Structure 1
């Protein structure tokens, strides 16, 4: 493999291009693979995009030579194809990086995970994406089964000591289904990275108030400080010991900020790639309150 895809913001940070970026990535985002065998109905990969991000290719050696000191983490995104683990191992071994390396991938065998760990991968994230098996079967095609994804996350936690599950809000799940899958994953020691659905063939992104509520729920669940009341599947009340100050930031692996992965630079921002200003935090909380009643014991 002579070339590797690089997100537009990462390419700018590595000075592979002269593109201007509004917010610098705190993780370097790379991608291996040319064509995905999967046919997930929400994915834009067939058009050189993943979500709203363009991924131009560059020579592997040019990319690797510029990595050190540029960010706090490397994230290798991978398509679903035969030989993907071999390609990832080759790239990671060439890097000899001095910062943690994450791999975002479909579930694979324990043997392959051990190979990745030996090569230098610190953790993996798996795109479960859907909150229920029914939605999974509707949206995700030509990939491993729901049960294989669940087993893959469990195995990743055992092999690496940590794992991240990607969940997309806006695929038809109820609030209760979203909260329950996040609870279940956190109980297993698996982190949750939230994404907003990016429409491909029509449709709409999730309501901002609802997405903000799910962000706050995720943060409260992670900290073990929230209780939730539902009516017919919709979040009706949220009880919080305190409001998470970082609830509306990009969630995922440490140092991940994924600038403008789900949104245009001009906004609205579903996941903030940098610390919120006071007025932005107030607006986010107001958006939550328009969607759900919040009870907090914090002053």
Structure 2
């Protein structure tokens, strides 16, 4: 049985000999399927109509290895957890259960990102050591969801699945993935973030990355300034400091104010809000970013002066 391993993870495990700028603190794995996903997400390399290299997900390369070799090499990486990404194909659930069964003796916490499955499957995952489930809502806009996702699962299906995950795993254990830059407005992003936290889920933010061969290959990624505004809004909502109705938007739905002064914000915001926000132990280095540019999500905590620099650039 084969499994894909992100390039950085493979280096950390000793499966590939190369240098890495930032060591992944989580082992990122992906189910292996020789064909395309059954869904047709416009941004995804694995999509049904994608012409891109199937060894990629976002801008990361995922070479395939034998599962036995990966399980044997995992302890050498010193990872805090395993994150298993999945592609939707016939037999996905059986393959996922097999992989989890092989990983279980290692005693590592496991996160699984997967399309909607039944509660009985979620219960089985939980018994096999899974403690977090990633929910790939991705599109923060209900009006754009069917166009961008072109999925077997509707907007409502994804939110129902989020509820199921919370009921099986508990509050804070469903991570709703939202990609900034798919055509949504800031207001739609803020409302989706608030909806997730109000039901007991958490949110993990990603930046849209155009990849050649996908339907959105010619679209532009979000500006860093816009991404920083949403990271700030996300923190204020997550911490219960502000609701969606407290933010200021212009006539286009763009976020232009946070309902408080720059000084007040500076006293509230810790620099780690600009780091990767996912499952415990996740730093996701350069998943959306080019190494020579300032990252959307820092793989390590930025220095204490960074908050003031961000606020000076966006307000």
Q: TM-score, normalised by structure 1?
A: 0.92
Equivalence for 2:192: 181
Equivalence for 1:67: 74
Do 2:131 and 2:169's aligned partners in 1 also have CA atoms closer than 8 Å?
yes
Q: Secondary structure at the match of 2:274?
A: coil
Q: Which moved more, 1:238-247 or 1:132-141?
A: 238-247
TM-superposition CA deviations, 1:96-127 (whole Å, max 9, x none): 23221000111111121112112221121011
TM-superposition CA deviations, 1:228-283 (whole Å, max 9, x none): 12222121211346113211101111111110000111113111111213465443
Instruction: Tell me how many residue pairs correspond in the alignment.
Output: 288
Unaligned runs of 5+ in 2: 47-51, 212-216
Equivalence for 2:49: none
Unaligned runs of 5+ in 1: 290-299
Do 1:248 and 1:284's aligned partners in 2 also have CA atoms closer than 8 Å?
no
Q: Secondary structure at the match of 1:259?
A: coil
Q: Which moved more, 1:121-130 or 1:67-76?
A: 67-76
Q: Secondary structure at the match of 2:187?
A: helix
1:279 & 1:267 partners in 2: Cα distance? 19
TM-superposition CA deviations, 1:156-195 (whole Å, max 9, x none): 1111112100000001111111001101101111110000
Query: More strand per residue: 1 or 2?
Result: 1
Q: Which moved more, 1:145-154 or 1:233-242?
A: 233-242
Q: Secondary structure at the match of 2:28?
A: strand
Equivalence for 1:33: 32
Do 2:58 and 2:287's aligned partners in 1 also have CA atoms closer than 8 Å?
yes
- Is 1:120 matched up with 2:165? no
1:178 & 1:255 partners in 2: Cα distance? 25
Do 2:2 and 2:32's aligned partners in 1 also have CA atoms closer than 8 Å?
no
Q: Secondary structure at the match of 1:85?
A: helix
Cα RMSD between the aligned structures? Answer: 1.5
Do 1:219 and 1:244's aligned partners in 2 also have CA atoms closer than 8 Å?
no
Do 2:271 and 2:301's aligned partners in 1 also have CA atoms closer than 8 Å?
no
